[in-house]
Chain A
Amino acid sequence: MIKFHPSEEHLFHYVTGDLSPAMLMMVGTHVDMCSQCQRHVQHIEEDLAQKVFGQRQLPAEFAAANDSFADDAMLARIMAQAPQPTSMVMDKSPTELVLEGKRFQLPATLARNHHRIGHWHKLIGQMWRAPVQISGEDVLTFIYMAENTRVPEHTHKGNEATLVVNGVFNDETSEYRDGDFVFLDGSVKHTPQTRDEDCLTLAALDAPMHFTSGLSRLLNPFSSLFFK
């Protein structure tokens, strides 16, 4: 079972489209993987539709809005077009991500955005990253950790959201598996690591990592490289 979900607020703003592009991809991917949040999203959509369309009488301030449609010019313009049932067939884009001979099936949101995924780069140890090219301030990236890999303890200057796409990792407080969505603010120190399973995650960061312990501080100059 998925244990960690986006907040109510994240889901609401996913439905309205008012999150950063990176976070929209993160929440959308979680929703692909989580039937509970799919139902939740559907309820939010229904509520919003009810707010927009539910009232039998238009509020007074918009009663005048009807005037714009009085001559039915727009209605006639639309119906003058022959309906075109075709167009916009989604390309059958690749749905797999391949790394070091391993193949990962991508959830639908990521599969639709396969063209944004850049090349894999090896990081320290047995970690790789592949950027997801997307507009906005946040950085969106895949991070792959092989078995028995540990990320040096770090905090973030900003927020970090991590979604497990496939596999399992642990930090000091919990274990995270397929579909789990973790949102950390800048105050949290943590040391993600894998044990006997590898892990593919998608991460959104609004500031580079900041390593806090021992020798790993040497990595700090490297950290902007790490996530930009």
Chain B
Amino acid sequence: MQTVTETKTKRNIMSSAQPDDPEHAAALLALVATEQSRQAFSELFRYFAPRLKAYATRQFGNEQTAMDLVQETMTNVWNKAHLFKPDRGSASTWIFTIARNIRFDFLRKNKHRQHDLSADELWPVLAEQNESLDDDYALDDDLLMQQLAVYCEALPKAQRTVIELIYVAGKSQQEVADALGIPLGTVKSRTRLALQKLRELIQSDD
């Protein structure tokens, strides 16, 4: 599997594709992530750096600040390429959101205001884990998560369906309500009852 991907990405590099081709850009990022390929990074840099500079110069009207933004953005691309998730969007969109975050922090950097927001508190583009917080309900501990499958069998069917859609399929409560054609309040109460029941089951097992 791994070798197939590598052969494919290597072939892409040899072709005449440009980094403005999304598949090619994603393949280059994958090479930077998996083998720190300097060739792949150089190709990305030559395409994205001048365009980032044009963007940053329009934003800041200052060449030095613009170059700082280019350097910081491309440094993140070099260091954090493994955080790029091709299924979530294109490489250029990912690089844009990194630049957007850096611009946001640059604009606040010298003000030193109390309680300032930082870009990654708003948009965790470069967080190592940013999936786990998305659920409406976060389970208390990993143990519960692991044993869930077993204990779920003991739940009434309606509750089990809701729990599976939320915790296994990763749907939000609203999406579950829409999918099952039931009110959001019902999804909430079923989730609450199910989690209560699951905790009881786990505690009685200890």
Contacts and interface: CB of A to CB of B under 8 A. Distances in A.
A126 interface: no
Contacts of A28: 122-123
B151 to A, nearest CB: 20
A179 B55 CA distance: 34
Contact of B52 (A21, A52, A108): A52
Contact of B174 (A1, A81, A84): A1
Contact of A90 (B107, B128, B175): B128
Contacts, number: 169
Q: Choose among A78, A83, A135 the residue with the greatest number of B CB atoms under 10 Å from its CB.
A: A78
Contacts of A59: 54
Q: Choose among B78, B95, B103 the residue with the greatest number of A CB atoms under 10 Å from its CB.
A: B78
A224 interface: no
Interface in A64-123: 65-66, 68-69, 74-75, 77-79, 81, 83-90, 95-96, 105, 107-109, 111-113, 116
Contacts of A2: 174
Q: Choose among B71, B82, B104, B136 the residue with the greatest number of A CB atoms under 10 Å from its CB.
A: B136
Interface string A46-69: 101110111110110010011011
B71 A55 contact: no
Interface residues of B, number: 70
A107 B92 CA distance: 27
A51 to B, nearest CB: 8
Interface in B71-90: 71, 74-75, 78-82, 89-90
Contacts of A108: 130, 133-134
Interface residues of A, number: 62
Given A28-B122, A75-B45, A77-B71, A116 B115 contact: yes
Top-9 shortest CB links A-B:
A49-B96, A62-B54, A17-B104, A108-B133, A49-B93, A89-B128, A53-B92, A135-B113, A52-B55
